[in-house]
Amino acid sequence: MFEKNKKVNYMIILLAVLLAAAVIYIALDKYADFRNTQLDSAYRQGQADAQERALLAIINEVSTKGYVQITDFKANASLVLVPYTPQQQAKQ
C-alpha cells in the first residue's frame, strides 16, 4: 500500500513539474512576442526620426547654397527645391 502511494506521489510531482514547465514556456513565449513588438515599434520610430533628420540636414545644407524648399515634405513625402535669388522676390 505504501509503495502505491509513493508512485502516486511521484506521478503527481512529475505532472506538477511538467505543468509548471509548460506554463513557464508559454509565458516566456508570450513575453518574447511582446518584447519583439516593442522593439519593432522602437526601430520603426527611430528609422522615421533618422529619415526626418537626414532630410532636414539636406534642406539646411542646400539652403546655404541658394535653394529654398517650396513643398512640405512631411505632408506629401516629396521635396521640391528651387534656386532662389532675392531679385526675384523684389520684382513680384
Residue 1 has pLDDT above 90, yes or no: no
Q: Where are the domains of the chain?
A: 2-65
What is the model's pLDDT at position 31?
A: 96
Instruction: Quote the pLDDT of residue 91.
Output: 55
- What pLDDT is recorded for position 23? 97
**Taking Cα atoms as reference points, which of 80, 73, 81 lies closest to residue 51?**
73
Element housing 69 (H / E): strand 67-69
11: left (phi over 0), alpha (psi -120 to 50) or beta: alpha
For residue range 9-28, what is the model confidence (pLDDT) as tens digits? 999 999 999 999 999 999 99
Q: What is the pLDDT of residues 46-90, one digit of tens each?
A: 998 998 898 888 888 888 888 777 777 666 667 777 787 766 555
Place 43 in a pLDDT band, splitting at 50, 70 and 90.
Answer: very high
Strands (E), the chain: 67-69, 81-83
Q: How far is it, in rounded angstroms, from Cα 45 to Cα 4?
A: 61
Cell numbers placing 20? 509548471
The pTM assigned to this predicted structure is 0.51
